[in-house]
């Protein structure tokens, strides 16, 4: 069965510091992988997605993620965090041919000024 | 372009009352999803529709929950009777089938509190 694990519930970084949010998935074949961001009181917005091709994916707001099949990981990175990046981040996995995307439990990011 | 529109944004009701949540998907999208978000269980898929037809409702928690999509531009999620454990944020999302990876577009959610 598909599953997604985000091991970090909370992460705090200083503004300008680099960021890496971890995501591990379980799926037999190559999955669809997504990162979404949710600001307080808002819906989820897609940051980036991966299905095939280049394993380093660029997204919006300066985010990128790298698909590592050997580690079953799809970690999200940003070289320099801005205060406006404070939000909750969700990793999601989906199987080809289905819309049953599974979301991780989320990582809440706090940014210190 | 308008995104996914949900109403009401907030609903407070008493146990036993009927609750109806509404969703207008993005025009032209042919998939519609209802998710529930709680602290304990995270984001759960309740049901999804394709071309107004329910495809998978295995996530609907029990018979008190029902969802309909009478046309391509409107869907409802109804809870009758409501219980305190139904308190959550309910999200509607829509998507367009096509080649490649399909993105979900989420509404801002309906926060339900059942007293």
- Please compute the mean of the pLDDT values over residues A74-86 and round it to a whole number: 97
Residues 6+ apart with CB under 8 A from A67: A33, A50, A55, A56, A57, A73, A74
- Which chain B positions have a beta carbon within 8 Å of A103's beta carbon? 42-43
Contact A50 B101 (CB under 8 A): yes
Q: How many CB atoms lie within 10 A of CB B104?
A: 24
Single out the residue of B30, B25, B6, B9 nearest to residue B98, CA to CA. B30
Which CA distances in Å does A50 have to A22, A57, B85? 15, 7, 35
Q: Report whether B23 contacts B5 (CB < 8 A).
A: yes
Q: Is A89 on the interface with B (CB under 8 A)?
A: no
From A32, A45, A90, residue closest to B43, measured CB to CB:
A90
Q: How confident is the model over B61-85, as pLDDT tens digits?
A: 889 999 999 999 999 999 999 999 9
Closest chain B residue to A39 measured between Cα atoms? B108
| Selected residue with higher pLDDT from A30 and A35 | A35
């Amino acid at each position: 069965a598909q599953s997604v694990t985000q091991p970090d519930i909370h992460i705090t970084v200083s503004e300008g510091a680099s960021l890496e949010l971890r995501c591990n998935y379980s799926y037999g074949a190559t999955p669809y992988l997504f990162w979404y961001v949710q600001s307080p009181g808002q819906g989820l917005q897609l940051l980036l997605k991966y299905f095939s091709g280049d394993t380093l994916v660029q997204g919006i707001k300066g985010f990128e993620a790298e698909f590592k099949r050997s580690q079953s990981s799809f970690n999200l990175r940003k070289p320099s965090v801005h205060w406006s990046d404070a939000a909750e981040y969700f990793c999601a996995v989906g199987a080809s041919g289905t819309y049953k995307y599974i979301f991780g439990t989320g990582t809440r990011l706090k940014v210190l000024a | 372009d308008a995104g996914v529109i949900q109403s009401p944004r907030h609903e407070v009701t008493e146990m036993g009352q009927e609750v109806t949540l509404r969703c207008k998907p993005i025009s032209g999208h042919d998939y519609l999803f209802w998710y529930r978000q709680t602290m304990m269980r995270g984001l759960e898929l309740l049901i999804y529709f394709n071309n107004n037809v329910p495809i998978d409702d295995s996530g609907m928690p029990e018979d008190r929950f029902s969802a309909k999509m009478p046309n391509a531009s409107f869907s409802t999620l109804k809870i009758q009777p409501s219980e305190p454990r139904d308190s959550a944020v309910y999200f509607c999302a829509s998507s367009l089938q096509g080649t490649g990876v399909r993105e979900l577009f989420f509404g801002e959610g309906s926060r339900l509190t059942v007293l």
